[in-house]
Amino acid sequence: MGYEFDWSVVSQYGSWIVTGVELTILVSIVSMALSMVWALVVAYLRMSRVRPVRTIAAFYIAVVRAIPTLVFILWAYYGVTVVTGINIPPVQAGILVLTVQYAGWLAEVYRSGIQAVDKGQAEAAHATGMSPIQTFLTVTGPQAWRIILPAMGNMFIAMLKDSSLISVIGVGELMRETELAVSLTFRPFELYTVASLIYIVLTLGLSRVVAALESRYRTDALGKRRFKTLPTPMPTAA
């Protein structure tokens, strides 16, 4: 082949790569946290009894899920500036796009999880005087969480990988820093290989965390069911 490997470029530009990893993780965490909150609002609007509200929420979900992430990023960064004259900083634009788009996917995940919980439990909670927020926090939410946790973990992994797309608008995350190092060293194989390995480590680590959470909630739920089914001891004679 004639290609001479030079892995020293990895250590030479290691600080760039570390900076990119830090920003990648930060953008992913912030975007996921915001999308989880916004998705919950959209999910409840999607389940609203008011038809116009339900229709608007469904339209929002359909539109944001139909737009390719790369196109969405370019439009949010360049298009908004052209149309409104408002300059959105690259990092904020990337977070905004990931939040808005993944909220559309998560809203449907939330909706399926919430609707999977027996309605009778929520009705019983309302009958005892609980507010809708109290009912969600103590009755519906914890049960729905166990249902949607695997899908939410997959969403986070996908968002972590999609964060690489914001490199096109100059955000110095892992992919952007790697591209800059490649342009200076002409060592694409070594640097892109390291970047790929870092993404693999991040996604595998996140998968293990999600699996551990699933196991924990599964064990807790099983313990509660067993506790509820324990036989009542017979009273003993005095």
pLDDT tens-digit profile, the chain (238 residues): 567 889 999 999 999 999 999 999 999 999 999 999 999 999 999 999 999 999 999 999 999 999 999 999 999 999 988 888 888 999 999 999 999 999 999 999 999 998 888 888 888 887 888 887 888 888 888 888 888 998 999 999 999 999 999 999 999 999 999 999 999 999 999 999 999 999 999 999 999 998 898 888 776 655 555 544 444 444 444 3
The closest alpha carbon to 20, from 183, 166, 158, 155, belongs to 166
Question: Domain 14-228 is in which class?
Answer: mainly alpha
Place of tokens 């060592």: 187
Q: Which of 158, 146, 166, 168 is nearest to 219 (CA)?
A: 146
Cβ atoms of residues 168 and 74 within 8 Å: yes
pLDDT at residue number 143: 86
CA gap 238, 225 in Å, rounded: 32
Give Cβ neighbours of residue 63 (< 8 Å, ≥ 6 apart). 104
User: Closest Cα to residue 26, out of 78, 83, 98?
Assistant: 98
The full set of domain ranges for the chain reads 14-228
Let me know: does 153 contact 228? Beta carbons within 8 Å.
no
pLDDT at 65: 94
Closest to 197 (Cα-Cα) out of 21, 12, 9:
21
3-state secondary structure of 47: coil
Instruction: Report phi then psi at 87, rounded to 5.
Output: -90, 115
- CB of 61 within 8 A of CB of 44? no
The per-residue pLDDT for 164 is: 94
Residue-level pLDDT at 229: 46
> Please, what's the b/e burial string for 36-63 (b: 16 or more CB within 10 A of its CB; e: otherwise)?
bebbbebbbbbeeeeeeeeeebeebbee
Token reading at 82: 């052209």
Torsion of CA 227, 149, 173, 186, to 10 degrees: 110
pLDDT at 90: 94
Q: How many Cα atoms sit within 13 Å of 200 on the Cβ side?
A: 6
142 contact partners, CB below 8 Å, separation of at least 6: none
The pLDDT of residue 94: 95
Give pTM, 2 decimals. 0.85
